[in-house]
């Protein structure tokens, strides 16, 4: 029985993944790695420092990886600010869940600066009992650590949490955490989720769903 909701952020709460992809494409090109947007979408996911290490090996020191990640995220925020808004229907979904006192949390691979950027600009932070960003975990998705930490801070067992995600990597993290999931189809095709049997629904946004669909 579902008692609480956990949201990914990028691509789930805000439709910003193509902005991230464009920012990554520019930064990687500046570092000598030319990728198409399709290649960026396929290869660039997870915690920033892990991405840089995966793509470049030991070419950069940990300090350099942190600097590169910070520069990329600063560029992303500049690009995205004029477009910053919640995915359609999410505002009403969050309001209803809050009125019904349903625990909610956020588990994201985004860095703290980006999480604060969204939550403070849209004035959402008071709605969530737990917010775990990339700095709060040792391993990024598909490792389930972030979702398990959010569930623990919400005071709920994993199997009572429903995850909202947009990516196969996030769906796999939810599966490993023992949580069911709803997929928001902002960035990936439905066929990319064919391997998963723990998905409740796949929807384009939040306009067709309600907290009452899962919490009586």
Q: pLDDT tens digits for 142-175?
A: 999 999 999 999 999 999 999 999 999 999 999 9
Q: Judge if pTM exceeds 0.85.
A: no
Cα 165 to its chain centre, rounded Å, is 7
Q: Do 95 and 191 have their domain in common?
A: yes
Which of the pair, 70 or 106, is modelled with greater confidence? 106
Domain that holds residue 37: 17-82
**Do the strands 130-132 and 161-165 form a parallel or antiparallel pair, or are they unpaired?**
unpaired
Q: How confident is the model at residue 191 (pLDDT cuts 50, 70, 90)?
A: very high
- CB–CB of 85/14 below 8 Å? yes
Query: Residues 64, 92: one domain?
Result: no
Total structural domains in the chain? 2
* Residues 24 and 111 occupy one common structural domain: no
Percent of the chain topping pLDDT 90: 82
68 and 105 share one domain: no
Task: Tell me the pLDDT band of 215, cut-offs 50, 70 and 90.
Answer: very high
Task: Assess whether 73 and 127 both reside in one domain.
Answer: no
* Lowest pLDDT segment from 7-16, 17-26, 30-39: 17-26
Q: Would you state the pLDDT for residue 35?
A: 93
Element containing residue 52 per DSSP (H, E)? helix 48-56
Q: Put the strands of the sheet holding 199-203 in their side by side order.
A: 130-132, 104-107, 4-7, 161-165, 180-184, 199-203
Residues 89 and 47 in one domain: no
d(C-alpha 216, C-alpha 214), whole Å? 6
Q: What is the model's pLDDT at position 124?
A: 97
Compute the average pLDDT of residues 23-48: 90
State how far the Cα of 92 lies from the Cα of 159, in Å rounded to an integer.
25
- pLDDT computed for residue 128 by the predictor: 98
Using pLDDT thresholds of 50, 70 and 90, give the confidence band for residue 117. very high
Pair 138, 111 in one domain:
yes
Using DSSP, state whether 6 is helix, strand or coil: strand
The answer to which of 26-30, 31-35, 67-71, 72-76 has the lowest mean pLDDT is 72-76
Same domain, 141 and 60: no
Residues 73 and 114 in one domain: no
- Determine the pLDDT at residue 18: 85
Distance in angstroms (rounded) separating the CA atoms of residues 26 and 78: 14
Shared-domain flag, residues 55 and 10: no
CA atoms within a 13 Å half-sphere pointing along the CA-CB vector of 16: 26
């Amino acid at each position: 029985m579902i008692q609480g909701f956990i949201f990914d952020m990028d691509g789930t709460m805000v439709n910003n993944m193509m902005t991230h992809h464009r920012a990554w494409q520019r930064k990687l090109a500046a570092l000598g790695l030319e990728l198409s947007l399709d290649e960026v979408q396929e290869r660039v996911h997870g915690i920033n420092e892990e991405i840089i290490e995966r793509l470049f090996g030991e070419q950069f020191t940990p300090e350099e990886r942190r600097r590169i990640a910070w520069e990329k995220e600063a560029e992303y925020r500049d690009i995205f600010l004029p477009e910053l808004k919640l995915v359609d229907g999410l505002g009403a979904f969050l309001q209803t869940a809050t009125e019904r006192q349903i625990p909610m949390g956020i588990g994201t691979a985004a860095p703290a600066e980006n999480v604060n950027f969204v939550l403070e600009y849209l004035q959402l932070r008071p709605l969530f009992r737990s917010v775990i960003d990339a700095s709060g975990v040792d391993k990024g998705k598909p490792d389930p650590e972030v979702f398990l930490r959010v569930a623990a801070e919400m005071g709920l067992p994993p199997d009572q949490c429903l995850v909202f995600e947009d990516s196969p990597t996030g769906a796999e993290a939810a599966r490993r955490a023992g949580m069911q999931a709803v997929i928001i189809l902002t960035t990936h095709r439905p066929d990319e989720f064919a391997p998963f049997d723990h998905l409740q629904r796949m929807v384009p946004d939040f306009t067709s769903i309600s907290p009452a669909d899962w919490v009586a």
